[in-house]
């Protein structure tokens, strides 16, 4: 006797199939192999994670777009954890090297959760032919960056491989930090009317590396903005004490909004791969709300603008390594902005936009001519690897 199904059922070998539960095991693009764009922080990166890694690994974190995850500890309290790999070339560039970049990048990923970073691990893949003097300078840069960030490099590993690019290396760092009681940051906290703040000028890191690669010269040398942002984040969170509690644990939040509204800092992101624009896209999509910003309010240094124009690049999509985007309740925006400007890494902080209850999940830029345009994640990456 055959089974009877509704006319609308999709039937497989084992019976009715629920299409809502389907997942695609690979990115829905015309690629059967990995391309460089899969690591660029755009749509290809997002699809690689969502359609390949997450189905393979299991349950996703609450905010899979974030570069760190907050984990409850069996003995109480919470830890933020993150890991990242760095393959930038050249390994030394104006204002820094792959060494301090690896430290600051992972410290910032942890700090954006509101955590205070404590320790890092470091793994090196060294290619034959790498000069020991270069490696020594990079290690020194890492040690100095760790001390300045208030973290310790506590464990690591080293491997040597045959030369692919004469004298190359890859550094992978992982780090963790303690999340204070009550702190809960993320897109789920966003509310219509919240203000979008940017800690300073964008595009410096990406253009510093690209100008060195392309041999471009400007009136002033472009230098990376690489810096650890823990101090800036903690200053922002402390600027509006008692503004609300998140309900995630006992204690009073430092400037973190409550789920029912409240005030304070809602979410933080460091604008690395994909740049300022990619951060806004991730926040809007994660919150299910729209974000609008004023293009004229986004600070782009003249030399960065010139380099981008020469290379045909959009500075809002260029990676930064020492800038953050904050979404803050409107009632506390001026207080938080003033606190940012009082900190060395936020002196040039500006208000650039707001969260709106419209065009949900979409970012819109208001142009200098009064028009509006939709801002989307790039498909891949608009320039070669810079972190």
pLDDT tens digits along 97-142: 999 999 999 999 999 999 999 999 999 999 999 999 999 999 999 9
Whole-number Å distance between alpha carbons of 293 and 285: 15
Which pLDDT score is estimated for 227? 97
Q: Considering only CA atoms, give the Rg of the chain.
A: 22
308 contacts: CB under 8 Å, gap ≥ 6:
203, 207, 300, 314, 315, 318
Q: Which residues on adjacent β-strands are paired with residue 269? A: 325
Residue 343 has pLDDT above 90, yes or no: yes
d(CA 202, CA 305): 10
Q: Which two tokens stand for residue 305?
A: 């603008």
Residue 46, pLDDT above cutoff 80: no
Plot region of 301 (φ>0 → left; ψ -120 to 50 → alpha; else → beta): beta
Topology, domain 66-179: 60s Ribosomal Protein L30; Chain: A; (3.30.1330)
Give yes or no for a contact between 229 and 111, defined as CB atoms under 8 angstroms apart: yes
C-alpha span between 44 and 376 (Å, rounded): 13
Architecture of domain 187-375: Alpha-Beta Complex (3.90)
Overall size of the chain counted in residues: 387
84 CB-near residues (< 8 Å, 6+ apart): 67, 102, 105, 106, 109, 172, 173, 174
The CA-atom distances, in angstroms, between 367 and each of 125, 158, 251, 275, 381 are 45, 49, 43, 18, 23
Residue 53 pLDDT more than 90?
no
Residues 6+ away with beta carbon under 8 Å from 332:
239, 240, 243, 255, 263, 264, 265
Task: List, for residues 185-200, the tens digit of each pLDDT value.
Answer: 999 999 999 999 999 9
d(CA 190, CA 302): 33
Distance, CA of 374 to CA of 161 (rounded, Å):
45
Segments making up each domain of the chain, as ranges: 66-179, 187-375
pLDDT at 285 over 80: yes
Whether residue 27 is predicted with pLDDT greater than 60 in this model: the reply is no
Q: For residue 51, give both structure tokens.
A: 């359609």
Output the CA angle 349-352-357, nearest 5 degrees: 140
Task: Quote the pTM value.
Answer: 0.83
pLDDT at 379: 59
Q: What mean pLDDT is predicted for residues 279-288? A: 96
Provide the mean pLDDT of the chain. 85
Q: For residue 249, what pLDDT is reported?
A: 46
Which of left, alpha, beta for 84 (phi over 0: left; psi -120 to 50: alpha)?
beta
What pLDDT was estimated at residue 17?
A: 47
């Amino acid at each position: 006797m055959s089974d009877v199904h509704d006319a609308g059922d999709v039937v497989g070998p084992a019976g009715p199939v629920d299409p809502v539960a389907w997942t695609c095991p690979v990115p829905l693009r015309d690629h059967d192999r990995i391309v460089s764009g899969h690591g660029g922080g755009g749509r290809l990166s997002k699809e690689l994670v969502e359609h390949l890694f997450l189905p393979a690994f299991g349950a996703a974190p609450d905010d899979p777009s974030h570069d760190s995850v907050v984990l409850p500890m069996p003995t109480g309290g919470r830890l933020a954890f993150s890991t990242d790999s760095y393959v930038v070339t050249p390994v030394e560039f104006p204002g820094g090297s792959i060494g301090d970049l690896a430290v600051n990048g992972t410290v910032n990923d942890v700090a954006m959760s509101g955590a205070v970073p404590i320790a890092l691990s470091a793994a090196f893949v060294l290619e034959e032919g790498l000069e020991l003097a270069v490696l020594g300078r990079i290690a020194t840069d890492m040690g100095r960056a760790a001390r300045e960030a208030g973290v310790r490099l506590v464990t690591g590993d080293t491997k040597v491989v045959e030369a692919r690019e004469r004298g190359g290396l890859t550094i992978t760092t992982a780090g963790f930090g303690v999340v204070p009681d009550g702190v809960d940051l993320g897109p789920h906290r966003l509310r219509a009317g919240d203000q979008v703040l940017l800690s300073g000028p964008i595009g410096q890191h990406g253009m510093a590396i690209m100008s060195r690669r392309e041999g471009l010269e400007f009136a002033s040398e472009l230098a990376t903005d690489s810096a650890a942002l823990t101090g800036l984040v903690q200053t922002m969170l402390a600027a509006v004490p008692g503004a609300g509690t998140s309900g995630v644990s006992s204690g009073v939040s430092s400037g973190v909004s409550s789920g029912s509204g409240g005030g304070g800092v809602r979410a933080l992101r460091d604008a690395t791969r994909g740049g300022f624009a990619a951060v806004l896209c991730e926040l809007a999509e994660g919150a299910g709300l729209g974000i609008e910003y004023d293009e004229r309010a986004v600070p782009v240094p003249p030399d960065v603008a010139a380099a981008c124009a020469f290379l045909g690049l959009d500075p809002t999509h260029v990676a930064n390594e020492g800038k953050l985007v904050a979404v803050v309740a409107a009632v506390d925006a001026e207080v938080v902005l003033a606190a940012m400007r009082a900190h060395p890494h936020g002196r040039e902080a500006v208000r650039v936009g707001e969260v709106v209850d419209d065009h949900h999940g979409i970012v819109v830029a208001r142009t200098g001519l009064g028009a509006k345009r939709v801002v989307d994640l790039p498909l891949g990456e608009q320039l070669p690897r810079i972190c």
